């Protein structure tokens, strides 16, 4: 009997391990005329990705391939990606490869894999841009089966994901030299302008996009003389969630721009996954770019560039790198942050009196377990401003706290451009109140439009709504506290009083089910829908 139990235990362990191995995702491999890339999707428990490959012959045991590398973190598109930009693989070549994924401190390996190069993935080349005294032209070389070439561009303002741009046009025929060329003969560009643009190419019935790109008209003529002035005073701080980039104010600076990629090279003309214009310095005369969402772990690398417009001239640092060593600890608030906790049958809220110069507030909380130093907690969120009563209020409508539960929480505020934190607080539930009437506010119905690549969600904006948050998964359950594969904040209404969430990467097919949730902050309170479901139908591209 004992032997039988031992045998069954060993068999169970073997089956569990087999299931783990079977669950390793298959990589996505893209081979270009020059270069290739291999990627796997990111998950919360993935902490490493190693790729090893060679061409023509199989591996010997413990052999390191011609192409190999360790990837230390996911990129801005939430994938672990190995890239080789110099390899020239020929049609018919066989790529023998293996890869390792590290999850929960365990290594899972797939080996003896083969990928045969049968075709090349098209990649839009870097265009040639020429600026004339009046007008400009954008040109790319022809490649077999290209059907059309389109450009969308703005001057000195970023191009949106589905935005046509002020200067846009679709070209269906090549010019006399056999190239695809867009020509504008009206606009007058100066040496201080930046052209922000995106290119779309139709080839063999497929649509290809570039990332958001930009072109500086003077090609940053002053880099050599002024680059050190920017980097000398540059300050980057990484927090447990988010990061901050700042430079001090100087006379003549008109704006400050930051572009960055995470764990992948920022190309010369690329806008980057994290990017933004800052047009005014803060109260302490600092130009600050701030991101509060991205989690940067030790050894993650930011590839970034800073552009200043100063006295009518563009100044750039060029591409630079910052490797995360550790997280900055927040300074502690010198004065006590007075807070009040109210618990309801479903949900709770924490209100805090407004202190002078507080710009926004972040709260982290967990139930019956103490918060660790860099832990976000089970419940967390940002409060961008006080409500009509002058209080900062964090609300949760899903948590089910019981009598004698202990709520551990910590408050982080941005005050005078500094991030300050309280020490850990705790609250023991002694009373459960009746739900206030504001919790019964209804959220408007969303309209979802599916595009060939991506989708768009629009929600009517009503009076009192401060922002809307959208979370969604495709063909998988959206759990109670999960952000979802697709998520984002909609801070202000766009055209016709609508708030829009736009995704340009998802590939939704007929029959796919989009599970989503909408959270609205209105009058200082957070209100959430339950999980809603939408099915993509073949007969229509939009549904409610």
pLDDT tens-digit map of 338-387: 678 888 888 888 887 766 677 777 888 888 887 776 666 788 777 777 77
Mean pLDDT to the nearest integer, 524-531: 72
pLDDT grade for 519, boundaries at 50, 70 and 90: confident
Mean pLDDT to the nearest integer, 469-493: 77
Distances (CA, A) of 328 to 95, 344, 373, 424: 43, 35, 11, 17
Same domain, 335 and 319: no
pLDDT tens-digit map of 68-107: 888 888 887 788 999 998 899 999 999 999 999 988 888 8
Contact indicator for 184, 130 with CB cutoff of 8 Å? no
Q: Is pLDDT at 504 greater than 90 in this prediction? A: no
When mean pLDDT is compared across 428-432, 489-493, 532-536, the lowest value belongs to: 489-493
Please give the backbone phi and psi of residue 17, each rounded to the nearest 5 degrees, phi first. Answer: -65, -40
Same domain, 317 and 335: no
* Better-scored residue on pLDDT, 383 or 256: 256
Same domain, 134 and 176: yes
Residue at a domain's end among 161, 194, 216: 216
Number of domains in the chain: 5
pLDDT grade for 259, boundaries at 50, 70 and 90: very high
pLDDT tens-digit map of 456-480: 888 887 776 777 888 888 888 887 6
Same domain, 518 and 484: yes
Same domain, 199 and 237: no
pLDDT grade for 200, boundaries at 50, 70 and 90: very high
Same domain, 340 and 422: yes
Report the DSSP pairing between strands 358-367 and 331-332. Answer: unpaired
* Residue partners of 24: CB distance under 8 A and separation at least 6: 101, 108, 110
Task: Give pLDDT, residue 441.
Answer: 53
Instruction: Determine, yes or no, domain membership for 9.
Output: no
Instruction: Determine, yes or no, domain membership for 17.
Output: no
**HEC profile for 137-189?**
EEEECCCCCEEEEEEEEEECCCCCCCCCCCEEEEECCCCCCCCEEEEECCCCC
Same domain, 339 and 428: yes
List the CATH number of the domain containing 399.
2.60.40.2140
Overall pTM surpassing 0.75 (yes/no): no
Which structural domain, as residue segments, surrounds residue 85?
A: 23-116
How high is the mean pLDDT of the chain?
Answer: 80
Instruction: Determine, yes or no, domain membership for 493.
Output: yes
């Amino acid at each position: 009997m004992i032997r039988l139990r031992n045998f069954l235990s060993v068999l169970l362990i073997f089956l569990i391990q087999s299931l783990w191995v079977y669950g390793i995702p298959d990589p996505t491999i893209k081979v270009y005329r020059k270069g290739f890339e291999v990627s796997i999707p990111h998950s919360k428990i993935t902490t490493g990705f190693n790729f090893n490959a060679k061409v023509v012959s199989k591996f010997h045991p413990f052999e390191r391939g011609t192409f190999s590398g360790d990837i230390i973190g996911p990129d801005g598109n939430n994938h672990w990606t190995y890239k080789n930009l110099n390899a020239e693989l020929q049609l018919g070549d066989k790529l023998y490869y293996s890869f390792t994924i590290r999850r929960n401190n365990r290594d899972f390996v797939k080996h003896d894999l083969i990928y045969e190069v049968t075709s090349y993935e098209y990649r839009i080349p870097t265009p040639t841009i020429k600026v004339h005294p009046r007008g400009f032209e954008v040109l790319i070389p022809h490649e077999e089966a290209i059907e059309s070439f389109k450009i969308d561009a703005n001057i000195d303002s970023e191009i949106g994901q589905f935005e046509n741009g002020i200067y846009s046009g679709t070209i269906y025929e090549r010019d006399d030299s056999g190239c695809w060329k867009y020509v504008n003969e009206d606009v007058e560009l100066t040496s201080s302008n930046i052209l922000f643009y995106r290119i779309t190419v139709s080839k063999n019935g497929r649509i290809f996009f570039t990332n958001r790109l930009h072109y500086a008209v003077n090609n940053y003529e002053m880099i050599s003389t002024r680059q050190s002035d920017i980097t000398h005073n540059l300050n980057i701080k990484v927090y447990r969630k988010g990061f901050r980039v700042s430079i001090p104010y100087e006379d003549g600076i008109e704006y400050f721009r930051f572009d960055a990629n995470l764990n992948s090279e920022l190309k010369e003309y690329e806008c980057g996954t994290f990017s933004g214009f800052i047009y005014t310095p803060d109260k302490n005369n600092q130009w600050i770019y701030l991101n509060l969402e991205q989690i940067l772990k030790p050894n993650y690398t930011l590839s970034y560039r800073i552009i200043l417009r100063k006295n009518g001239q563009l100044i750039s640092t060029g591409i630079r790198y910052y490797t995360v060593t550790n997280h900055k600890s927040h300074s502690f608030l010198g004065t006590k942050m007075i807070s009040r906790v109210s618990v309801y049958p479903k949900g709770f809220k924490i209100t805090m009196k407004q202190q002078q110069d507080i710009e926004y507030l972040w709260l982290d909380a967990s139930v019956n377990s103490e918060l660790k130093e860099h832990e976000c907690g089970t419940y967390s969120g940002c409060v961008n401003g006080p409500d009509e009563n002058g209080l900062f209020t964090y609300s949760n409508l899903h948590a089910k706290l019981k009598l004698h539960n202990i709520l551990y929480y910590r408050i982080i505020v941005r005050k005078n451009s500094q991030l300050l934190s309280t020490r850990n607080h705790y609250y023991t539930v002694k009373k459960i109140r009746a739900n206030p009437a504001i919790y019964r506010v209804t959220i408007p119905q969303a309209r979802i439009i599916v595009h060939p690549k991506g989708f768009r969600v629009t929600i009517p904006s009503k009076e009192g709504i401060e922002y809307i948050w959208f979370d969604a998964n495709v063909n998988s359950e959206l759990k109670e506290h999960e952000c979802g594969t697709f998520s984002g904040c909609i801070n202000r209404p766009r055209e016709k009083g609508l708030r829009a969430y736009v995704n340009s990467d998802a590939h939704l097919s007929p029959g796919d089910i989009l599970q989503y949730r909408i959270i609205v902050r209105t009058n200082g309170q957070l209100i959430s829908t339950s999980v809603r479901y939408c099915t993509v139908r073949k007969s229509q591209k939009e549904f409610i």
